[in-house]
Structure 1
């Protein structure tokens, strides 16, 4: 892994955000956004069901002084209701929509399934341009498993979407869990990298009740260099996440405090 000093200083300050999935156990949307703001965040990443009430989302974001530059959404909603989704994004200031891997298209995780998913996401990315929204793919670990064709799912997907405006939100911790080298993949797809998820892996068998994840800065990933690696290759929105935090607010607060040191030297 390259060291921090090897990467150029970025001229545009990145956005530090928080994935609301991490705060789902805290209660209502108002409770979650209140916690995010109290932890220090000024941006969050909502989920698809939050877009079902765009007026409520917009109002509650404003109440807590928050913005939502990105969101996660399910494949079906993205495909079946573009008018509603596009208008909701416009109302709430969301510029990028990311879809986590769709199991609907990958029941067997074959090369053909990856090709189908990439082609469909490429078409959706073209479709959403009319709403001023970029559509992107958010990886899990599966894309970095070698297929019988001796290729990786993620490269098959991006090849199938080539020529479209599809972008990428790299989940670096899932890449690490899959045994992939983040530097190799972020550099390879730097032209479409727009965002990255920032989360940490616990030491082996250390946090079974948290599915092996940790507060950012307390785990095994070298986030000082990974942070600069993501920025140097094009990520401009860094989204903090923990899939199963034991104490969601404390996770958000500690992770923000840790990453604030990087923000001070970014841009």
Structure 2
């Protein structure tokens, strides 16, 4: 199993080039980009090449994705295979409001354009997508909007929503094409890091969860992520050490 690294976790590092080379040295073969990194696709391609890494997946925000033609040019230039929208487009959705059906239909239109271009497209969850809206969860509303919409399961956020991620794998595993590998610190710990932990340092049984994901989903990308690490390289190193220890 190859592991990727969500570069948003290293957004505060001084040098992208140095970060990429360090990630390669730690055993990562891939990285997942995020919207703020695509201002100069040619330079990004060169940085990836210099480090010996690929970027098969990326996060791009909904407003950026609305110019689908421009995004697909970036995707082609960088060699990205699948783009995931990382969140709803406004705070309204995150506070219990927002028109999830309209949002889902917008994502479905984007998915159609990506499919026509030979690329994959999907959605990445937080915890907002698991409160019922007229009897359905937003994640169900989104995936029901088009069979072409994929799901990048941020498993720790599913747990934060008080949901069982394995039960969701059983229900919708055929739609899950990527997993965010993230850990949750014990209660009251790592408060300066918003309660997140390096993989293997937290409360989630990632050895079992990786086995479940391989057995129950279509996931081909396993992306280490920490939303607010105090040391992005420490997170990368500890997480890869743990993942190697699991025999993954």
Aligned residues: 246
1:54-105 Cα deviation digits (max 9, x unpaired): 101110000000001100101111112x222212211211100011121337
**How far apart in 1 are the matches of 2:9 and 2:209?**
21
For the 8 Å contact 1:51–1:89, the answer to whether it is kept is: no
**How far apart in 2 are the matches of 1:18 and 1:220?**
20
**How far apart in 1 are the matches of 2:2 and 2:108?**
25
Closer, same or farther in 2 for the Cα pair 1:107/1:201, shift >3 Å? closer
For the 8 Å contact 2:61–2:89, the answer to whether it is kept is: no
**How far apart in 1 are the matches of 2:124 and 2:9?**
16
Instruction: Compute the RMSD of aligned alpha carbons.
Output: 1.7
Q: Report what 2:63 is aligned to.
A: 76
For the 8 Å contact 2:58–2:82, the answer to whether it is kept is: yes
Query: Which segment is superposed worse, 67-76 or 36-45?
Result: 36-45
Cα deviation, residue 258, structure 1: 1.0
Where does structure 1 lack aligned partners over 5 or more consecutive residues? 1-13
Normalising by the residue count of structure 2, what TM-score does the alignment of the two structures yield?
0.93
Q: Report what 1:3 is aligned to.
A: none
**Where do residues 245-256 of structure 1 align in structure 2 (5 Å cutoff)?**
245-256=229-240
Where does structure 2 lack aligned partners over 5 or more consecutive residues? none
For the 8 Å contact 1:20–1:44, the answer to whether it is kept is: yes
Cα deviation, residue 108, structure 1: 5.4
Higher relative CO (Cα under 8 Å, sequence separation at least 6) belongs to 1
Closer, same or farther in 2 for the Cα pair 1:108/1:253, shift >3 Å? closer
**How far apart in 2 are the matches of 1:107 and 1:200?**
22
**How far apart in 2 are the matches of 1:89 and 1:230?**
26
Normalising by the residue count of structure 1, what TM-score does the alignment of the two structures yield?
0.87
Q: Report what 2:27 is aligned to.
A: 40
Aligned pair 1:87/2:73, yes or no?
A: yes
Q: Which runs of 4+ in 1 moved over 3 A?
A: 107-110
1:169-205 Cα deviation digits (max 9, x unpaired): 0000000011001011122111211001000000011
Among 163, 166, 174, the residue aligned to 2:149:
166
Q: Report what 2:218 is aligned to.
A: 234
1:197-226 Cα deviation digits (max 9, x unpaired): 000000011011000000000100110111
Among 184, 194, 205, the residue aligned to 1:222:
205
Q: Report what 2:227 is aligned to.
A: 243
